[in-house]
Amino acid sequence: MSTPPVSSTKARVLFVDDEPSLLAALRRMLFGQRDRWSLAFASGGHEALDLLAREPADVVVTDMRMPGMDGVTLLREVERLYPQTQRIVLSGYAEAEATASALGVARQFLTKPCAPESLIHAIDQALAA
């Protein structure tokens, strides 16, 4: 799932989730933000790191429970390699959220299901930081 290079004026947001339908739905739902953000999607931690290696992102929004590499490991790697990149968790598990929070791997935690306004607001805040 590669995206063509875009102009640097648009913020780049990377979504990571092992559920393809969820990524597709996010892409559709955020269609209205296409002028402000360029969106990237990865179905797992490794793919996300590959994408970031090619083109760094301003914000990473990731699920916590994923096969292969889990959210905490991914966010640790992102923190180490790209300290400028803002990290947001979007998870269905309250416990996972609590874990991530305790470890301090992300600046914000969103619980599925999350209303579009909340998600957009959270990303905007991250970009403003």
Query: Residues in the site for another protein, rule: CB under 8 A?
Result: 19, 21-22, 24-26, 28-29, 31-32, 90, 92-94, 111-116
Smallest separation, CB 92 to another protein (Å): 3
Indicate the residue among 68 and 116 with the shorter CB distance to another protein.
116
> How far are the Cα atoms of 21, 23, 31, 47, 62 from residue 54, in angstroms, in the given order?
24, 20, 23, 11, 18
User: Which among 75, 70, 13 has a CA at the least distance from the CA of 44?
Assistant: 70
Smallest separation, CB 54 to another protein (Å): 26
Indicate the residue among 49 and 120 with the shorter CB distance to another protein.
120
Smallest separation, CB 50 to another protein (Å): 23
Chain centroid offset of residue 101 CA: 16
Indicate the residue among 19 and 50 with the shorter CB distance to another protein.
19
What is the DSSP secondary structure assignment for residue 10, as one 8-state letter?
S
> How far are the Cα atoms of 101, 106, 116 from residue 75, in angstroms, in the given order?
12, 7, 23
Smallest separation, CB 5 to another protein (Å): 25
Indicate the residue among 18 and 55 with the shorter CB distance to another protein.
18
